[in-house]
Structure 1
Amino acid sequence: MKENINPTIIVIFGGTGDLNSRKLGPALYNLYLEGFMPEKFELIGTARSNLTDANYCDFLEDGIKNFSRKGKALKKDWQKFTKHVSYTPADIKDPESLITLKNKIEKIQEEFGPDTQVIYYLAVAPKFFSAIADSLHKYGLAGDKDHTRIVIEKPFGHDLESAQELNQMLKQHFRERQIYRIDHYLGKEAVQNIMAFRFANSLFEPLWNRNYIEHVQISVSESIGVEDRGGYYDGAGALRDMIQNHLLQLLCIIAMEPPTSFDANEIRDRKVDALKSIRKFTNDSVRKNAVRGQYTDGWINGVEVPGYRSEKDVNPESNTETYAAIKFNIDNWRWQGVPFYLRTGKRMQQSSSIITIQFKDVPHQIFQNESVETWQQNRLIISIQPEMSIRLQVQAKRPGLKMVLNPVDMIFDYKGAKHTDTPEAYETLLLDVMTGDQTLFMRVDQVEYAWELLMPILNHWENKTSISFPNYTSGSWGPEEAEALIAKNGFFWYSLPIKHKD
């Protein structure tokens, strides 16, 4: 076992839901297989459905078979794991069921010992966060502030006001060190490696500033549409769903100042500093620096797909953006004058998440024109998906008698470097919750600064109906206005080369 973890009880609200089936169940089982679960632990699933322990174990096993990186559970291992698994129906509107859950937890605590920690994971819709947190307090399930933690999924609030209200409510019942606001992007191996590349190597950090970097792109594109999330997505949009959390988190990691240590609060302090340094938006700057889009019907991988307004549970006259591209300016010594371009969209040509750091061109070109026909500036490209890799693009001489330069890639490839399966993001994050490490989780001020930064854009878009929607075809790279946004400074959006199957 990697860590000396106290006995642990994990209670999953929304225990019969999709998140538990696809992510939490497989992650906890993989942690168990690899020896990272404490010797004494209990997983309690809870929801309104009346299931037996055996029914619930079957539900988890089905999820592991379909979604775990290790595949179907072996019978011997599964039988051992399920000795730690149980199910208790509970409804936040039914006090008796919550008292039953409390009694069960207390009985396990008596068996496990006084240092037993209880983790409440809210794998439910955001509208239930406040009610569950209130009920945990009201019925005495979270009275021990030294041994109780609560995990909350995104979206954390719908806007600045609702985020502040949720934070105030949580503050009444929990201390900040008990609250784990989870963003699964931060648990991805490639994302964690960004700080390692920056701060563990003397090669990169001296170049990580306005003197050498020309601009930064953070791009998360999806080829899928809204699928069965039309009802939720039509009230959210790309800005809330992706940029407010995932993409701004990535921006903070790229832009943050070097921390003095790997302490959780020290790292989160530096991320907040980066958010505070971003130039605030006005109505005029929103028009100049933010582009929105909505997809129409088209073709994805040879299959015809509907437009957004024809998707299930979507308003046929919806003003919701399925694409957003924004230029951010960071007003500090390190980044003054270096634009950060963030974009995300659905039904795009390719599903990928990449960070592109483009360095300035050489100050003086010594090679003849015919030698540098394929010249391109140096780039550091961090690919999070579909592949996990970090590549440095440089110029080198092409083999031959003449001096001809070609761009070449120096690649750190996870597939070639790993000796074991790369853990899923939720495995990393759940282990951190159990060990009490909040480094990869958002603090209250970080959440609120992110909302505060984006509210002018949200308000502008919601108060002004787009007459151009839909304005990009499914299977394309988004609206033309987004290309114009980055082209103003002479740049273009970078995308990974598409790999065709043989």
Structure 2
Amino acid sequence: MSPARVSATHNPLRDPADKRLQRIAGPCSLVLFGVTGDLARKKLLPAIYDLANRGLLPPGFSLVGFARRDWEDQDFGKVVYEAVKEHARTPFREAVWRTLAEGFRFVPGTFDDPAAFDLLAETVRELDEERGTGGNHAFYLSIPPGSFSTVCQQLQRSGLTEGSDESWRRVIIEKPFGHDLQSAQELNRIIEEVFPQDAIFRIDHYLGKETVQNLLALRFANQLFEPVWNSHYVDHVQITMAEDIGIGGRAGYYDGIGAARDVIQNHLLQLLALTAMEEPTSFEADALRAEKEKVLSCVRLPKDLGRATARGQYAAGWQGGEQVRGYLQEDGVGDGSTTETYAAVRLDVDTRRWAGVPFYLRTGKRLGRRVTEIAVVFKRAPHLPFTDTETEELGQNAVVIRVQPDEGITMRFGAKVPGNQMEVRDVTMDFGYGRAFTETSPEAYERLILDVLLGDPPLFPRHTEVDLSWQILDPIERYWAKQKTVDQYPAGTWGPDSADEMMARDGRTWRMP
């Protein structure tokens, strides 16, 4: 087999838009629980249309909605239509819509209603006969984790989890994967009692983003970076996910959960693992997971959590020219809540490659602007043959992977200022997806839903990764739970003073994205 053929077959970074490598789902249906939620309306339903519009779904693809609504199939179709018109990435095409809408079905009912699941089973059988779905069905649980057990038991009781030698049944789970290690393990036990491990797809939508996948290409497809991607040259790594919005109407979910459980345990620790992992033997799922698990198992917490972590809560302030209220004034937030809306932590990775290199993770709401990035900051040159005045503004070299928005990569290095004297300043060299490629990047959910339908699992964490992530975060959460107060920071700033003090103790500062 030629190298090109091997790459096309086995590389999960392949671009589905490339006609030579295009992957098209076979006969199947998707059953969506939680179809009335914001995630379904803003992300999942538009992603399904966009996949159809790109020709990546089979003509007989079917979508089944399940919810506590007194709807007919056509009512469900209207809901999907409105979501697609408002949020789809690709242009609306009537012919594509008509073909897709022929496969819409709706089943009314509650999660504890056996009759509703019996009707769902009958609907699925009819799709096999009428639409040629071939017994291949994925169940998307876009619902609170507390309902997983009930839904899984109902799916099993009604025979919906039973495939055959020629067909498959898969389940898709949205985060959060529990709220601590114990609950995550219990959740995994419930799911694995019903579905085999290779049929369980845990979605972390960050892993579907083009720039996150490009991190693997950046490291392992280029000789330029990997030789310096280690403690000999790297001073530290900063991984940031900042949001400029508040909690909105999510108080019922967010209060008591907080920024660390919501973002660090999943998104940021996954980014850390991809940044720090060794080169996998291949890009197959098991090989990728093995390297990520090695990294997470080597993460070491600081001895003094008070000095190496910070948390905060946004107070009233100005953002985007408007005055906004603080977290405690948000609808649905309990009086005196100490739930953090900002979290920062220093972690160390005890491997030969990364010994002595701190990884700083931070996330928060109502910060200066919306940005997610991975910044690999390099050590200063051991000797500079310049005077202080010639290099007064010279900082540290850095490679910054911009995950969102304005996806791309920035390199920062020193260069001579034009003129008759030697003066060196920091400059940046920038690569942007929007400028380098003519085709827009697919949304993360497009990629991930297609991977589920294809049974392609490299971008989905298994329960071992989830358990290791909770083992890292649980001690921090227990420490914070003993604190009686949480630091405040004005909306529109970059977090509490304690986060800056945490960095200052190490002689470093946060990047200004």
Q: Which range, TM-score by smaller chain?
A: over 0.9
SS in 1 for 2:193: helix
The alpha-carbon deviation at position 369 of structure 1 amounts to: 2.5
User: Once the two structures are superposed, what CA deviation does each residue of 1:404-447 show, in whole Å capped at 9, x if it has no partner?
Assistant: 22222221111101221210010011111111111111101000
Contact 2:417 2:424 in 1 (8 A): yes
- 2:447 equivalent in structure 1: 428
Q: Secondary structure in 1 aligned to 2:108?
A: coil
Deviates more, 1:207-216 or 1:346-355: 346-355
User: Does the residue aligned with 1:165 lie in a helix, a strand or coil?
Assistant: helix
Kept in 2: contact 1:323–1:343 (CA 8 A): yes
Q: CA deviation at 1:108?
A: 1.6
Quote the offset at 1:115 in angstroms: 4.5
Aligned AA (1:285): D
Match of 2:149 in 1: 130
Asked if the contact 2:487/2:496 (under 8 Å) is kept, the reply is no
Aligned residue number for residue 142 of structure 1: 161
Aligned-pair CA distance for 1:400: 2.3
Q: Secondary structure at the match of 2:219?
A: helix
Q: 1:107 maps to which residue?
A: 126
Unaligned runs of 5+ in 1: 497-502
Superposed displacement of residue 124, structure 1:
1.3
- Name the structure 2 match of 1:219: 240
Residue 79 (structure 2) aligns with: 59
Aligned to 1:437: 456
Post-superposition offset of 1:113: 5.2
Matched, 1:228 2:249: yes
Deviations along 1:113-159, one digit per CA (max 9) or x if unpaired, are 58541100011122211211111112111012750000000001011
Match of 1:493 in 2: 510
Residue equivalent to 1:248: 269
- Give the corresponding residue for 2:12: none
Q: Distance in 2 between matches of 1:141 and 1:114?
A: 14
Q: 1:273 aligns with which of 274, 294, 298?
A: 294
TM-score by length of 1: 0.95
Partner SS, residue 392 of structure 1: strand
The number of residues matched between the two structures is 491
Rate the CA distance shift 1:463–1:370 in 2: closer, same or farther, 3 A. closer
The whole-number CA distance in structure 2 between the counterparts of 1:6 and 1:293 is 48
Q: How far apart are 1:470 and its partner, in Å? A: 4.7
Please name the residue that 1:43 is paired with: 63
**What's 1:484 paired with?**
501
Shift of 1:40: 2.6
- Tell me, yes or no, if the aligned pair for 1:392 and 1:411 is still in contact at 8 Å: yes
Query: Residue type of the partner of 1:68?
Result: A
Q: Residues 91-240 of structure 1 correspond to what in structure 2 (within 5 A)? A: 91-111=110-130, 115-144=134-163, 147-240=168-261
Alignment deviations for residues 55-88 of structure 1 (CA, whole Å, 9 cap, x no partner): 11111111122222235x3333322221122212
CA 355–31 in structure 1, closer or farther in 2 if over 3 Å, else same = same
Deviation at 1:489, TM superposition (A): 1.8
1:90–1:101 CA contact under 8 A, matched in 2: no
Write the distance in 1 (CA, Å) between the matches of 2:456 and 2:275. 21
Which letter does structure 1 place at the counterpart of 2:72? T
Q: Which amino acid aligns with 2:293?
A: V
How many percent of aligned residue pairs carry the same amino acid?
42
Residue aligning to 1:472: 489
CA RMSD of aligned residues (A): 1.5
What corresponds to 1:342 in structure 2?
Answer: 361
Matches of 1:232 and 1:17 in 2, distance apart?
13
Q: Residue 286 of structure 1: CA displacement?
A: 1.5
Given that 1:6 and 1:115 are in contact with CA atoms closer than 8 Å, whether structure 2 keeps it comes out as: no
Partner residue in 2 for 1:5: 25
Unaligned runs of 5+ in 2: 1-18
Give, in angstroms, the shift of residue 363 of structure 1. 1.1
* Superposed displacement of residue 322, structure 1: 0.8
Query: TM-score normalised to the size of structure 2?
Result: 0.93
Letter in 2 for 1:465: K
Contact 1:6 1:116 in 2 (8 A): no
- In the TM superposition, residue 475 of structure 1 has moved relative to its aligned partner by 1.1
Cα distance in 2 for partners of 1:77, 1:31 equals 10
Distance 2:365 2:146 in 1: 25
Q: Is the 8 A contact 2:210 2:444 kept in 1?
A: yes
Tell me the amino acid that sits aligned with residue 215 of structure 1: H
- Shift in Å at residue 464 of structure 1? 2.7
Q: How far apart in 1 are the matches of 2:434 and 2:300?
A: 39
Q: Distance in 1 between matches of 2:251 and 2:131?
A: 44
**Whole-Å separation in 2 of the counterparts to 1:381 and 1:492:** 16
Aligned match of 1:313 in 323, 327, 332? 332
1:419 aligns to 2:438 (yes or no): yes
- For 1:139 and 1:67, locate their aligned partners in 2 and report how far apart those are by CA, in whole Å: 34
In structure 1, what is the Cα distance between the partners aligned to 2:147 and 2:338? 26
- Which amino acid letter does the alignment assign opposite residue 23 of structure 1? K
